[in-house]
Structure 1
Amino acid sequence: MSGSGRGRAAALVVAGATVAACTSGPEDASTPASTDAVPSATAEPGGADGSDDDGADDPDDDRTQDGADGPEVAEPGVLATGLRSPWGLTFLPDGDALVTERDTARILRISPDGEVTEAAVVPGVAHGGEGGLLGIAADPEDPANVYVYATTDEDNRVIRLRFDDGELDSGHLRVQEVVLEGIPHHPQRHNGGRLAFGPDGFLYVASGDADDRSAAQDLDSLAGKILRVDRDGDPAAGNPTSDSPVWSLGHRNVQGLGWIPSGEDAGTMVASEFGQDTWDELNRIEPGENYGWPQVEGDGGGAEYTDPLLTWRPADASPSGIAVTEEEVYVAALRGESLWRVPLDGADVGEPERLLAGEYGRLRAAEVDSAGQLWLLTSNTSRGAPAPEDDRIVVVDPDDL
């Protein structure tokens, strides 16, 4: 996708409510929860009021199904409740999910029938504001190895953990080593945090500018970048600069990473990003491209910068995790308390559609399981007025949205 000075098709703009400046506080400021929530399974499908909005089966029925060609998958509905600021989600081959809790540094294992167990508490994590235990990614080649992105008192870093004896059924993850450190951090704001393995087998790491705008344009800084590394944290082969992990630059605070899985544009990388006062962004990521922050927010920065595919007003989005399919991008919105469905039109995007507006509150992450069901993480316990069952994992069938 070319920059605005290279003849790109016009980016779409979602214009919504009057913009309220984000400079009064971070996008994901933390406020203490009134109680220490204990995660639990739930058989109550539907929306925030407990209604059966998505047409799930009776809650007393078996909530799992045996996939003919794969692991068990969850049925639509609220799968688990009582989580504390869940942030990242990754799937294991058996259909279970691993979910990080930002504020507690716990990694939870969630089965397709809603059973919740604790797999690890990552030591040394420093929670504050938007920092803590953030992204998580299981290695697709060896899923007994799991990578997490964590804020410490010194930096943001990527840590590798491993299931005991390399057995996924062991249930316990142990810290192995730090594979990438020195990512600038801030005690409250702009710590990035999303991790994902790309179709090329390399690990992609989303960092924020750590509230230092100039760092996003500094190639010697790991802040305000998307990084691409191998499993040991070294710069990946084929990076724009051979001895650098930097894949793209000029980012304020990247929150979601994904790739189109198939079709003519298979392997195309897409990322969501928090804006400041004016425009949140959905970007098509190309190696070595500069996405403009802090010189430009949104599009129109000139030939040296790459325009976003799509922009929103922060009041409508504050986009976090994304799930990318062949035909659509699903964007979890925090401040916008919605799920945005963005049609893919080749290398461009169609008119976005706002879904689930206000039904579950703030949405932090979206991931698609092996059967095409969409798993959503809410993020209400850290900010605002959480419902009694928050935070939750919600499973929806995209065909029912």
Structure 2
Amino acid sequence: MKKMILSGVTALALFTGGVIGSGSNGSSVEAAQATLKFKDVPSTHWAAAAINSAVEQGFFKGYSDGTFKPSSPVTKAEMASILGRLTDQPNAAAPEANNFTDVPEWAKSGVSSAIAKGFIIPSNYNGKLDAKASLTRGEMATWLAQGLTVVDPDYKQALSDVTNTVIPAKEYFTGKLASNQKNAVAVALGTGLMSVANDKNFGTDRTTTRAEVAVLISRYANVAKTKPADFQGLNELREVGLTGTNLSIIAPKYKKTPEKKISPNVDYNKVTDDFSKVRNKNIITDTNYADLKVKNWIIVNTFAKGSARSIYYPVFVDEGFTLLRGAYFSFAELELNVKSSTMNSLQAGSLLNSATINPMNSPKSVSFAAYAGPSINAVTKSKGIFTVKNPVYWSVGLLHFDKELISDVSLVSKEGPTYSVIATD
């Protein structure tokens, strides 16, 4: 009886139903299988179309029992083989060598190709890819973001710009988002490449499933064809990272306050509409109960539709909520240095005479609670007395456009610059 000799990748595909490695798209039997409907992937499955497409393109195979196992995890070696076969992905200018010592024989070519295309950077590892381990969503975001930097240099700039941004994911607000994955997660969310789960976590430590990978293959191809500047969400994340606010994107009618509307006691040469000049600076307050800094300032337009209302809408505002009189929501992340053991929330509200940045109140939406956003309630006790000397929390206010209301926003820093903007026609 003749022995059948199978390559490592073919054996993997046949016996585990895994990914199909580099090489041809397979035999006519494989092509026929790609057209079959898997009994565990009904037409109502959220990833059904993407799974069928991924199988037709030869990235995946089904199992011999007629299943696809959409919830099964994908290993790093398998994902590298898939990424290495993306024909539209250009090669990196100076890719590193494949120095991994733990990659199985069947995956070596695919891993090398993924490295050449910029998805994997070996110097980020210590000689071992841990190739047989399941790929986590955090590492997936990193690989895909690195691949985008090869497609368009502005994605590389975007990865840098979001270093100090506010990430619309629960892990960011709870401090559980690893610093070495934060930028990639921001780019993945800003482009719509990946999203948070129902529990509002991005799930950096969760494994990546076969169904998710099938979807990501299609999404990545679309994102790679799109300029970074065409994603409003990514623009917001970049702008917040660089300046501390998304005002210029969500409320572009707010411009630098004209000199005639500035108090004569203020040196107009020190007036700016660049929020970064007062970000994290000590702000001159109306009362002396506490020192105050504004770390970030987020604007949300409840009247816009979809992504136009802000990538931060789902974090701070409950779906369907609309403000009156054309106002926008204003959410400011504040840091206080409380000077008295009896300071309360009402006194915090007196620090700034502003309807836009009001230290007395925090968002009360169900969404904000779900994202675990830090609120004033977490740092105060009965009668609103602060229990923390240096609390950091988010406030809520309104950004007005109505000419009958005060629309200017001014913050004077003790270091000198005065930030002042006002709604224009």
Q: TM-score scaled by structure 2?
A: 0.23
| Larger helix proportion of the pair | 2
| Larger strand proportion of the pair | 1
- Choose between structure 1 and 2 for higher RCO, CA contacts under 8 A separated by at least 6 residues: 1
Whose Rg is larger?
2
